[in-house]
Structure formats: structure tokens, C-alpha cells
């Protein structure tokens, strides 16, 4: 299993929107609608922000949205706020009870 590909960094000003991509293959991202996204602040455990490509768990602001096209999934954060500054990781089911993560994207709020 190869890690999913994410840009190492992304940035935006407060109030702006930013989109983070996550590219895999037909064996993971493209093959299943089981992409999830995680937010991780320094020293903290990850927190799920999106599951099943575009669903938000209870309590996650609707500023966070997810989508997928072919082998690439995307996380969009709209109306950026200072507290959104964190590392973001995508993950995908890869079949046979196996999962794979992306390398992570550091989101900076300018």
C-alpha cells in the first residue's frame, strides 16, 4: 500500500476558502466511497472531520466539506478561521480490511 498524496502545505486568509487534495488510485480512493479526513492540532490526537467522502460528524462545522472525483478526494474549508490552522490527513479504505493515510497537509491561516 502506498501512502495517498497530499500537498505538504496550504494557506489562506481568514474568511477565505482553501481546498486540500488527496490523490490515490483505483485500489483505494477511486475504488471506494470511504474517504475520511482528520484534523490534528499539535500534541493532540486526530479528529475526524469528514467520513464517507462528504459526510460530517455531529459537531463539525459545515464550513468543512468533502468531495471526490475519480482517484482524487478533496477537503474544502470555507470561511477560514484561526482555529482551523492544523495538520490535515486524508485516509481511504483500500479493500481487504486495510486502510491507507495521506502524508498530511499543514494548513496555515495567514
Partner 1 sequence: QVQLVQSGAEVKTPGASVIISCKASGYTFTGSSMQWVRQAPGQGLEWMGRIDPNSGGANYAQNFQGRVTMTWDTSITTAYMELSRLTSDDSAVYYCARNLRYAFDYWGQGTLVTVSS
Footprint of partner 1 (CB under 8 A): 1, 3, 32, 34, 36, 38, 40, 45-48, 51-52, 57, 87, 89, 91, 93, 96-104
Distance of closest approach, residue 76 Cβ to partner 1, in angstroms: 18
Rounded to an integer, what is the distance from CA 8 to the centroid of its chain? 12
Closer residue to partner 1, CB minimum distance, 16 or 55: 55
Q: Which three cell numbers stand for residue 90?
A: 486524508
Tell me the residue ranges of DSSP E strands in the chain: 9-12, 18-23, 35-40, 47-50, 64-69, 72-77, 86-93, 99-101, 105-109
Residue among 85, 51, 78 at smallest CA distance from 64 = 78
Closer residue to partner 1, CB minimum distance, 14 or 107: 107
Closer residue to partner 1, CB minimum distance, 13 or 42: 42
Helix (H, G, I), strand (E, B) or coil at 83: helix
Distance of closest approach, residue 21 Cβ to partner 1, in angstroms: 15
Distance of closest approach, residue 19 Cβ to partner 1, in angstroms: 19
Distance of closest approach, residue 53 Cβ to partner 1, in angstroms: 10
Amino acid at each position: 500500500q502506498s501512502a495517498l498524496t497530499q500537498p505538504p502545505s496550504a494557506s489562506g486568509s481568514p474568511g477565505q476558502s482553501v481546498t486540500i487534495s488527496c490523490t490515490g488510485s483505483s485500489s483505494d480512493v477511486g475504488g471506494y466511497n470511504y474517504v475520511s479526513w482528520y484534523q490534528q492540532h499539535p500534541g493532540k490526537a486526530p479528529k475526524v472531520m469528514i467520513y464517507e467522502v462528504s459526510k460530517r460528524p455531529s459537531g463539525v462545522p459545515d464550513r468543512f466539506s468533502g468531495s471526490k472525483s475519480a482517484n482524487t478526494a478533496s477537503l474544502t474549508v470555507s470561511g477560514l478561521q484561526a482555529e482551523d490552522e492544523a495538520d490535515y490527513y486524508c485516509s481511504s479504505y483500500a479493500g481487504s480490511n486495510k486502510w491507507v493515510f495521506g502524508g498530511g497537509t499543514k494548513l496555515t491561516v495567514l
